[in-house]
Amino acid sequence: EAGVAQSPRYKIIEKRQSVAFWCNPISGHATLYWYQQILGQGPKLLIQFQNNGVVDDSQLPKDRFSAERLKGVDSTLKIQPAKLEDSAVYLCASSLGRIRETQYFGPGTRLLVL
Amino acid sequence: DQQVKQNSPSLSVQEGRISILNCDYTNSMFDYFLWYKKYPAEGPTFLISISSIKDKNEDGRFTVFLNKSAKHLSLHIVPSQPGDSAVYFCAARQNNAGNMLTFGGGTRLMVKP
């Protein structure tokens, strides 16, 4: 079974530029999560989707971050404009459902904002 | 406000010995706890979990202990192997928050041959 796929794996941009990350969850997984992991810290949930609807985006900085999951499968996370403090690994995870299901993580996208 | 804390950023253990990784939490609404393991350039992978109605869960070389009164859990790896060298994250889930996980900051385990 294929795991969670993410691209790109690495991205370097200058502050105030925009960037987008892509995630393809495990086939059949209805719930998709985006996490931000700053160096030396644990992952922090940014947004959770159930199919193509948002379940929780309370920790998403909505002035610059946006995410969508239009057809309930792939998802994109966008940052516009990027700030230096956005440098982090962005992890995508998926699970079968949204209640007490194991989350499976992708390899992440490492973002460096200069 | 860190609700899940792993106070040891790193731990070094000799191969064959026991590794003990600790985790403390503050939110009494957490009722399910998980450990994830992360290798460099990979995403975290699920290792073992425990429900708050239990105080111990074992899976091969890995055992997780939960002390609810102290709001403390620990992961024991016996015997430790060089392949166990990774960053270990403790995570917690709240009983009324769906599947949302709150992670600790991680502990880097190094198992020396």
The residue of chain B nearest to residue A47, with distances taken between CA atoms, is: B100
Nearest by CB to residue A42, choosing from B42, B49, B89, is B89
Q: What is the pLDDT of residue B45?
A: 95
DSSP A48-84: EEETTEEEE-TTS-TTTEEEE-TTSS-EEEEESS--G
Give chain A positions within 8 Å (CB) of B51: none
**pLDDT class for A98, splitting at 50, 70, 90?**
low
Q: What is the pLDDT of residue A13?
A: 97
> Torsions phi, psi of B38, nearest 5?
-135, 125
How many inter-chain contacts (A to B, CB under 8 Å) are there? 59
DSSP B40-101: TTS--EEEEEEETT-SEEEETTEEEEEETTTTEEEEEESS--GGG-EEEEEEEEETTSTT-E
Which residue type, as a one-letter code, is found at position B49?
A: S
pLDDT by residue (tens digit) across A28-42? 999 999 999 999 899
* Chain B residues within 8 angstroms (CB to CB) of chain A: 4, 6, 9, 32, 36, 41-46, 49, 89, 91, 93, 98-106
For residue A62, the distance in angstroms to the closest alpha carbon of chain B comes to 19
At A91, list the tokens.
């992890």
Q: What is the pLDDT of residue A69?
A: 94
Average pLDDT rounded to a whole number, residues A40-63? 92
The residue of chain B nearest to residue A94, with distances taken between CA atoms, is: B99
DSSP H or E segment with residue B10? strand B10-14
At B22, list the tokens.
């600790």
pLDDT above 70 (res A1): no
pLDDT < 50 positions in chain B: none
Q: Are B75 and A29 in contact (CB under 8 A)?
A: no
Q: Would you tell me how many other CB atoms lie within 10 Å of the CB of residue B100?
A: 19
Q: Which residues, 6+ apart, have CB-to-CB distance to A41 below 8 Å?
A: B105, B106
pLDDT above 80 (res A106): yes
Which residue type, as a one-letter code, is found at position A46?
A: L
Q: What is the pLDDT of residue B66?
A: 97
Q: What is the pLDDT of residue A71?
A: 85
Mean of pLDDT over chain A: 93
